């Protein structure tokens, strides 16, 4: 993994429809070696998948709610079931086990407050939860699937330029 791979990843994180030939040109390679690098990174799992991103407003899911969940030390059994139940909801797009005050944090997307309430009722109907608190996002100022590539380990340390 060198600086060319990193350049390729940067571009594919922005737009994966880019033709290999065009990508190669931007990176300063010809299509074959560029294609091979992409293949390798897919085999190695560096590139996990390629997906289409939708406009939340256009599909009626413009409201994001962060749901903080506190549990006073439940059993392992409860934890397992809790995860299974939560993961199934398509409205839950992110789900973390946290350190500190909050034990679990969910990001939930819905059309509006009413839909959130409906979701909430469905959730607590499926599993008993001690303490839940919801915080609504008023505005999504940034959302990206692009990960920083600055921390990638590079064998050939030709780091620095672009």
Q: Is 20 in the site for a second copy (CB under 8 A)?
A: no
HSE, side-chain direction, 13 A CA sphere, residue 55: 2
Other Cβ atoms within 10 Å of 5 Cβ, number: 18
Q: Phi/psi at 151 (nearest 5 deg)? A: -95, -5
Residue 36 binds which entry of DNA, a second copy, none, with Cβ cut-offs from 5 to 8 Å by kind? DNA
Q: Is 104 helix (H, G, I), strand (E, B) or coil?
A: strand
* Contact flags string 50-69 toward a second copy, x per CB under 8 A: xxxxxxx-xxxx--x-x---
* Contact flags string 97-136 toward DNA, x per CB under 7 A: ----------------------------------------
Other Cβ atoms within 10 Å of 23 Cβ, number: 21
Q: Is 29 in the site for DNA (CB under 7 A)?
A: yes
Give 78: exposed, middle or buried? Use CB within 10 Å, 0-12, 13-18, 19+: middle
Q: Is 33 in the site for DNA (CB under 7 A)?
A: yes
Q: Which residues bind a second copy (CB under 8 A)?
A: 9, 12-17, 44-56, 58-61, 64, 66, 83, 86-87, 90-102, 104-105, 109-111, 115, 135-153
């Amino acid at each position: 993994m060198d600086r060319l791979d990193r350049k390729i990843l940067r571009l594919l994180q922005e737009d994966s429809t880019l033709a290999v030939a065009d990508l190669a040109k931007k990176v300063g390679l010809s299509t074959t070696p560029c294609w091979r690098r992409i293949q390798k990174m897919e085999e190695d799992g560096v590139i996990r998948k390629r997906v289409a991103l939708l406009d939340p407003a256009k599909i009626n899911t413009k409201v994001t709610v962060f749901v903080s969940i506190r549990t006073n030390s439940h059993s392992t059994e409860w934890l397992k079931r809790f995860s299974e139940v939560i993961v199934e909801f398509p409205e839950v797009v992110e789900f973390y086990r946290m350190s500190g005050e909050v034990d679990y944090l969910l990001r939930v997307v819905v059309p509006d407050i009413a839909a959130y309430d409906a979701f909430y009722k469905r959730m607590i109907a499926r599993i008993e939860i001690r303490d839940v608190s919801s915080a609504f996002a008023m505005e999504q100022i940034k959302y990206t699937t692009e990960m920083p590539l600055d921390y990638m380990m590079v064998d050939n340390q030709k780091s620095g330029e672009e």
